[in-house]
């Protein structure tokens, strides 16, 4: 694959302070996804080019039906492209079978979901250790790393609590700890604040800010401008294509949802 | 994910729905307990019957009146015919005519009431010859057995079984006492030793009188020389078939019958009796075990049902685990493990229950139950296999779920 086909935002590398030569976390070129249901074909993605470098904090925005969920599934290796190329941390996803995809998700992606998706019968640290379990890490090390990850999100004193004994914000922080524990290349958050009140939303977003400051790559899918503006870069998706891609500050300038200025001419 | 972790995850999932899991296990549990009990009951009955037949004595041939109607040993006209006589018995005892026969004991029996003053006891009174103790392998606890002189003199001497003596006199020490049968007084000259381990009480509840006395005093009537059974004891185990031939041929000669098919008597060996009884009970056991196995099958379907419910109910969990990097094999293995745990625990608890019931039930049923270890371990293995087999379909369905669909399900 050649990187020339990939749209690279000029601020991307400098913003994160990562060397321009490092492998991008996400390289998506000509991404198309067609769903077929009987004789009806629906094209959810119609040629998406996207490059996200290490250390970036990107929000993907779009109304429902825009293809943003499909994009998230593709980026999360939960679904594969019909045509086009997708490289995650240098791995060509199109060539992988189901088992390798599972391994790739396990090692390179930390998911944070809107509904938290914690297992209700397991304690906080048991939930956090799950990715390490499928990696075959020894139990003692798993406990240590899970505890450290929970410590990191400020829940060091809630290791043995079950999700039901935690508030919504705390549950989502457990989910973030679970996303962090495997040291993935990418943290992929799907509407992480969709089920939270304003206080918990701020709580979780502050956590993302901190993680970004530490150099983590974060991709956040949302439809709330307040959430998107916390990211450094905002990608707008509409009708299966990228409509705009620019710095989050553009949101402030415009307050408009249709920002057509490609390649971030604002800065 | 290691096997240990898969096991603990499975156990955890089962514990999370303890009531449902318990009810599922119950189906298998009942099936396994039923299999163990029916197999045990069948084996126990076979053992009882064999013990009863061998308690007659050893190396025995039993000659009864009436002809065999089938090769399986079903006797026709037993008890109604009076074709066997004292003369037959005496001929069989002859060393020259039947060299492989060691001893012969004719029996003429009837159910009679024995009286000791006000005490009444009805038992089987047997008229026989002195060789009876040898042929039937019985010994005396006290006193003496009947002698040849008793027979010749038609003496009114009687030997009692230990239980009969106890019933009549309150203790087995009855030698010298008197019992009355049909207004004839008999002197007790001996008491038989208990026949021991046999579950049958009949062996100890009996009374023995000289054959001649039996014919003249107790039974009377016209058939004074007829006997109901002739017990023939072969010289040794190896001579049983020779003794059988000699008995058959001699009696055919004496009765003037040329074609063995028209014989008016039946000679059966203990082995034949045992195998006939055994085959009947084996058929019964197979039938009952089949019914029990059906309930196991139903239990297995219960496991599949619950596992399918579990897969549907835990679709989101499956989706999440897959998103976090669980390969399809890990998901499949997890559900298979859960189904196997259900099957195995049903098997183990069911086997325990079956063994417990096998200890308690014989007292109630008056029939012994033999717990066969191959049946116990076999049924536990079958229970595990049922869990595995009926777990495959739900497990494959779980492993096939697409993670996105699974995550989005409500």
> Pick the residue with more confidence: B10 or B273?
B10
Q: How many structural domains comprise chain A?
A: 1
The model carries a pTM of 0.70
Does A36 reside within a domain? no
Rounded Cα gap, residues A229 and B208, in angstroms:
112
Task: Tell me the per-residue pLDDT of B227-236, one tens digit each, with 9 for 90 and over.
Answer: 888 999 888 8
Are the Cβ atoms of A131 and B324 closer than 8 angstroms?
Answer: yes
B201: pLDDT strictly greater than 70: no
Hey, of A111, A119, A146, which one would you mutate to test binding to chain B, going by the most B CBs within 10 A of its CB?
A: A119
Which among A78, A122, A133 is the nearest to B323, CB-wise?
A78
Mean pLDDT rounded to a whole number for chain A: 85
Q: Residue A139: CA atoms inside 13 Å, Cβ hemisphere, count?
A: 4
Q: Which residue of A has its CA nearest to B403?
A: A78
Report pLDDT for B326.
Answer: 92
Hey, of A35, A69, A102, which one would you mutate to test binding to chain B, going by the most B CBs within 10 A of its CB?
A: A102
Which among B1, B319, B327 is the nearest to A99, CB-wise?
B327
Counting every residue written for chain A, the total comes to 267
Rounded percentage of chain B residues whose pLDDT exceeds 70: 93
ipTM metric: 0.84
Q: Helix (H, G, I), strand (E, B), or coil: what is residue A224?
A: coil
Q: Which residues of B touch A111 (CB under 8 A)?
A: 323-324
Angstrom distances, CA of residue B272 to CA of B69, B240, B247, B269 = 15, 12, 16, 5
Q: Which helix (H) or strand (E) holds B268?
A: strand B265-269
Are the Cβ atoms of B330 and A134 closer than 8 angstroms?
Answer: yes
Least confident of A1-15, A73-87, A228-242: A1-15
Chain-centroid distance of CA A84 in Å reads 20
Does A44 reside within a domain? no
Are the Cβ atoms of A134 and B1 closer than 8 angstroms?
Answer: yes
- Report the pLDDT averaged over residues B130-151: 88
Q: Which residues of A touch B12 (CB under 8 A)?
A: 121-122
Report pLDDT for A13.
Answer: 40
C-alpha angle with apex A79: A74 to A80, nearest 5 degrees?
80
Report pLDDT for B110.
Answer: 86
Are the Cβ atoms of A78 and B325 closer than 8 angstroms?
Answer: no
Taking 3-state DSSP, the helix, strand and coil percentages for chain B, each rounded to the nearest 5, stand at 55, 20, 25
> Pick the residue with more confidence: B324 or A10?
B324
Which residue segment(s) compose the domain that A196 sits in? 55-80+97-255
CATH code, A240: 3.40.50.300
Report pLDDT for A146.
Answer: 95
Please give the DSSP secondary-structure letter assigned to residue B208: E
Residues 6+ positions from A34 with CB-CB distance below 8 Å = A41, A42, A43, A44, A82
- Give, to the nearest 10 degrees, the angle between helix B373-400 and helix B328-365: 150
Contact status, residue B192 vs residue B204, Cβ threshold 8 Å: yes
> In chain A, which residues touch B (CB < 8 A)?
73, 76, 78-79, 98-99, 102-103, 105-107, 111, 113, 117, 119, 121-122, 130-131, 133-136, 178
Q: Which two tokens stand for residue B367?
A: 């029939």
Rounded Cα gap, residues A152 and A166, in angstroms:
17
Report pLDDT for A126.
Answer: 93
């Amino acid at each position: 694959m050649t990187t020339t086909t990939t749209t690279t935002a000029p601020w991307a590398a400098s913003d994160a302070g990562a060397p321009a030569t490092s492998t991008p976390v996400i390289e998506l070129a000509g991404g198309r996804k067609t769903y077929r249901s009987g004789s009806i074909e629906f094209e959810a993605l119609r040629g998406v080019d996207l490059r996200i470098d290490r250390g970036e904090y990107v929000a993907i925005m779009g109304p429902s039906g825009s293809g943003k969920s499909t994009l998230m599934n593709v980026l999360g290796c939960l679904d594969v492209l019909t045509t086009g190329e997708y490289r995650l941390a240098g791995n060509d996803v199109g060539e992988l079978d189901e088992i390798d995809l599972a391994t790739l998700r396990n090692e390179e992606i930390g998911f944070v979901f809107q509904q938290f998706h914690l297992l209700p019968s397991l304690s906080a640290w048991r939930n956090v250790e799950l990715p390490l379990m499928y990696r075959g890490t020894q139990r003692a090390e798993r406990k240590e790393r899970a505890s450290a990850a929970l410590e990191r999100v400020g829940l060091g004193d809630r290791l043995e609590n079950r999700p039901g004994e935690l508030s919504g914000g705390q549950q989502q922080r457990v989910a973030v700890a679970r996303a962090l524990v495997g040291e993935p290349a990418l943290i992929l958050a799907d509407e992480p604040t969709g089920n939270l009140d304003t206080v918990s939303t701020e709580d979780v977003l502050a956590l993302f800010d901190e993680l970004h400051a530490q150099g983590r790559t974060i991709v956040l899918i949302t439809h709330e401008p307040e959430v998107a503006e916390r990211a450094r870069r905002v990608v707008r998706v509409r009708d299966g294509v990228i409509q705009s891609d620019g710095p989050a500050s553009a949101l402030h300038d415009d307050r408009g949802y249709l920002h057509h200025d490609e390649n971030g001419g604002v800065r | 994910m290691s096997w240990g972790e898969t096991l603990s995850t499975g156990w955890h999932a089962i514990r999370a729905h303890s009531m449902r899991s318990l009810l599922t296990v119950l189906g298998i549990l009942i099936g396994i307990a039923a299999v163990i009990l029916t197999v045990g009951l069948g084996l126990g009955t076979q053992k009882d019957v064999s013990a009863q037949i061998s308690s007659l004595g050893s190396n025995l041939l039993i000659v009864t009146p009436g002809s065999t109607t089938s090769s399986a040993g079903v006797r026709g006209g037993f008890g109604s015919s009076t074709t066997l006589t004292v003369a037959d018995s005496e001929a069989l005892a002859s060393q020259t005519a039947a060299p492989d026969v060691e001893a012969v004991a004719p029996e003429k029996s009837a159910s009679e009431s024995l009286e000791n003053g006000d005490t009444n006891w009805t038992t089987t009174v047997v008229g026989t010859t002195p060789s009876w103790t040898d042929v039937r392998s019985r010994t005396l606890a006290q006193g003496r057995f009947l002698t040849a002189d008793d027979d010749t003199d038609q003496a009114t001497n009687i030997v009692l079984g230990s239980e009969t003596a106890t019933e009549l006199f309150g203790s087995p020490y009855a030698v010298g006492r008197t019992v009355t049968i049909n207004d004839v007084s008999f002197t007790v000259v001996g008491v038989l030793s208990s026949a021991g381990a046999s579950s049958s009480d009949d062996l100890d509840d009996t009374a023995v009188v000289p054959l001649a006395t039996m014919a003249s005093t107790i039974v009377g009537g016209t058939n004074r020389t007829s006997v109901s059974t002739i017990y023939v004891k072969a010289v040794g185990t190896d001579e049983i078939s020779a003794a059988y031939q000699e008995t058959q041929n001699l009696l055919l000669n004496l009765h003037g019958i040329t074609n063995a098919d028209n014989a008016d008597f039946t000679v059966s060996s203990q082995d034949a009796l045992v195998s006939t009884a055994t085959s009947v009970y084996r058929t019964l056991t197979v039938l009952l075990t089949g019914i029990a196995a059906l309930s196991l099958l139903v239990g297995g379907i219960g496991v599949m049902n619950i596992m399918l419910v579990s897969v549907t109910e835990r679709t989101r969990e499956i989706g999440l685990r897959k998103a976090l990097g669980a390969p399809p094999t890990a998901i499949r293995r997890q559900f298979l493990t859960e189904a196997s745990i259900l099957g195995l625990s049903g098997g183990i608890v069911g086997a325990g229950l079956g063994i417990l019931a096998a200890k308690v039930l014989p007292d109630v049923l008056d029939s012994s139950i033999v717990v066969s270890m191959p049946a116990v371990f076999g049924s536990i293995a079958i229970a595990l296999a049922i869990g595995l087999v009926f777990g495959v379909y739900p497990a494959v369905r779980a492993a096939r779920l697409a993670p996105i669909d699974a995550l989005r399900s409500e």
